[in-house]
Amino acid sequence: MEASRKDLAFRTREGLIHVSRKPPEIDEEDESEFLAHYQGEEYPRPSVAVDLVILTIVDVDLKVLLVRRSEHPFKGVRALPGGFVRVGDSSKNQGEDLDAAAARVLSEKTGLPSRSLYLEQLYTFGKANRDPRMRVISVAYYALVRPDLVPFVEARQMVENGSPRAVWLSFSQTGSEPLAFDHSEILKTAVKRISGKIDYTDIAFELVPATFTIGELRSVHEVIKGTAYDPGNFRRRFQRMLADRIIEKAPGKRLTVSRPAAVFRFRRP
């Protein structure tokens, strides 16, 4: 490949780089032509889906809510719950917000009002051929379900027929049983994100019951980070939150196998 005399080249950390002073003609034509036609709706559009990583922690075990696919491809394989974003058919009626689509799927699958759960956009997965049928771009969200709400989610799954529509599966088991599409990657991305955020945000409180002990909160951190924390040191970290009024004492004590523990409540900001 030879650069024309008017071209620029410079050496960088990535090696020699050529900069053409004229943008390549074919690119320009391509782009403007593409845009012109695109507005005219001649070019194909992708489907856009939302996929949800719905997580909880029960009995010191991270669990994710999964469905089993009833259609090809990946028929019979577990997958993240998801749905297509509903798009209107005119400029006046453009359909539902992206966040609303995620909240809708979350409510559908859990039976809980989405405003009672923590829901946040995770990442958008858009490789070509990630769905063999057609081009699907998936905006992934993750949601956290407090363990005291889990029974309500399970109750919802048992109503329609004998086989549950969605089940909680241990995150540790999802390694040996791959998910449909690129959902294993999405799941891993979600856990990684939470693991990164738990140290400097309040999301840990979305994974304990409304009232909780320091030990319960600690085990949430331990499950997410995959490491053990010194109980005494963790307690000190916690007491700073108490001083900062992020949490407050709740009445009563939690009875355990040993000495009863004080219970606390998160002061939602």
Partner DNA sequence: TAAATAGTGTCTATGAGACATTATGTA
Partner DNA sequence: TACATAATGTCTCATAGACACTATTTA
Please give the backbone phi and psi of residue 120, each rounded to the nearest 5 degrees, phi first.
-145, 140
Query: What torsion, rounded to 10 degrees, do the Cα atoms 93, 135, 103, 124 define?
Result: -120
> If you ran DSSP here, which 8-state letter would residue 227 be given?
S
Which span sits near its own copies by CB under 8 A: 27-35, 213-221, 230-238, 239-247? Answer: 27-35
Under the binding rule (CB under 8 A), the answer on residue 76 touching its own copies is: no
CB of 86 or CB of 253, closer to its own copies = 86
Q: Binding string, 94-123, against its own copies, x = CB under 8 A?
A: xxxxxx-x------x--xxx-xx----x-x
Q: Which of 267, 183, 170 is nearest to 223 (CA)?
A: 170
Residues 156-215 that bind DNA (CB under 7 A): 213-215
CA–CA–CA angle 186, 191, 193 (5° rounding): 90
CB of 122 or CB of 171, closer to its own copies = 122
CB of 121 or CB of 256, closer to DNA = 256
Q: What is the closest distance, in whole angstroms, from the C-beta atom of residue 237 to its own copies in the complex?
A: 19
Report d(CA 68, CA 80) in Å as an integer: 9
Q: How many residues does the chain have?
A: 269
Q: Report the sign of the C-alpha dihedral through residues 119, 120, 122, 126, in that order.
A: positive
Instruction: Mention every residue, 6+ apart, whose C-beta is less than 8 A from residue 131.
Output: 73, 181
Report d(CA 53, CA 15) in Å as an integer: 40
Q: What is the closest distance, in whole angstroms, from the C-beta atom of residue 239 to DNA in the complex?
A: 7
By a kind-dependent CB cut-off of 5 to 8 A, residue 258 interacts, out of DNA, its own copies, none, with DNA
Q: What is the closest distance, in whole angstroms, from the C-beta atom of residue 259 to its own copies in the complex?
A: 27
CB of 127 or CB of 253, closer to DNA = 253
Quote the tokens at residue 204.
Answer: 């840990």
Report d(CA 164, CA 228) in Å as an integer: 34
Q: Which residues bind its own copies (CB under 8 A)?
A: 8, 10, 12-14, 17, 19-23, 27, 31, 34-35, 38-39, 43-48, 83-89, 91, 94-99, 101, 108, 111-113, 115-116, 121, 123-129, 132-135, 137, 139, 149, 152, 155-156, 159-160, 210, 266, 268
Q: Which residues bind DNA (CB under 7 A)?
A: 213-215, 229-233, 235-237, 239-240, 255-262
